[in-house]
Amino acid sequence: MIKVGIIGATGYTGCELVRILLCHDEAQLVALSAKDRLDEELAEIYPNFRGMIKSKVEKLDIEGMASKVDVVFTALPHGVSMEVVPDLLAKGIKVIDLGADYRFKNLTAYEKWYNIHQSPNLLDKTVYGLPELHRDTVKQSNLVGNPGCYPTSIILALAPLLRNKWIDVNSIIADSKSGVSGAGCSPSEGSHYISCNESIKAYKVAAHRHTAEIEEQLSDIASEEVIITFTPHLVPMNRGILSTLYANLNKDANLESIHQYYQDFYQQEEFVRILPIGKMPETKYVRGSNYCDIGMTVDSRTKRVIVVSAIDNLVKGASGQAVQNMNLMFGLPENMGLKMPGLYP
């Protein structure tokens, strides 16, 4: 059994990690820590776990946790993970960071969009944990930077087009809509019920931090610099991200050929589902699952391709993908603990 610790266990991604790992045949939760709700049973904080787990939330003790775990998930805000990850790695513990601190190779990009990095020497050792594109390196890594939710939905949707040089890399527009859980569980004015119910709004227009992560990964895929226009929106639902991507075609291509290329590109990927021509993704069909659904069309009038993707921001966009990475790091079947369909209705 893989002995697992979670730092940041009381947040939404920490809670989702617990939900998934409780159903994992080869994982045992042995340490849960957070900065609040200390000494409370997790099942008291999240009653959906009643009768399933008796573990209490403990104050973080790196020495104590390292003595009993094989892997740690750090479900922490950016700037906080880097305070604990180096010590965990030094003690021989594998780490999967769900924050932004270890998603970048480019230190300048990280510090421009976030803050000063305290362990830049580790950036060359981290692997960007999008299994569909970096599976082999994830398997060999001790430190995985788990992708952000918006980036996951956008990168998976655009990767085939960029790899095959089908689109003008300077024409990409990403329009994404997320449920409120993407803002985390800490109360804020923007996520207050009265602020977001019966409303939809764009936020951090041309200034969202995920832009840098998306551009770094898309540039790597395209083998040239990619700069996008990215606009996120908040919609009044709990879970889910729907991303609609627009790009100008730089060579003649019909919908059938593009669709076939997507099918071939992802044919071995269990968690990416290419929908039939004429069908478009909806968040309700991936809710609670680790799937990314992708649909597309070609607008012959404007010579643009339009790709739509849907994920659950807390699963494929965070905790499910993190468990997918854990499975790869420990030589387990990649789908272990993740073979659940979406929740419907």
d(CA 267, CA 303): 27
- 173: alpha, beta or left? (left if phi > 0; alpha if psi -120 to 50): beta
Residue 300 CB contacts under 8 Å (≥ 6 apart), including other chains: none
Contact indicator for 259, 223 with CB cutoff of 8 Å? no
Residues noted as catalytic: 149
3-class state of residue 11 by DSSP: coil
325 burial (CB, 10 Å; 0-12 / 13-18 / 19+) is buried
Residue 16 CB contacts under 8 Å (≥ 6 apart), including other chains: 314, 315, 318, 319, 320
User: How would you classify the pairing of strands 201-202 and 229-234?
Assistant: antiparallel
98-121 CB burial, b ≥16 within 10 A, e <16: bbbbbbbbeeebbeebbeebebee
Distance of CA 293 to the CA centre of its chain: 14
User: How would you classify the pairing of strands 127-128 and 143-145?
Assistant: parallel
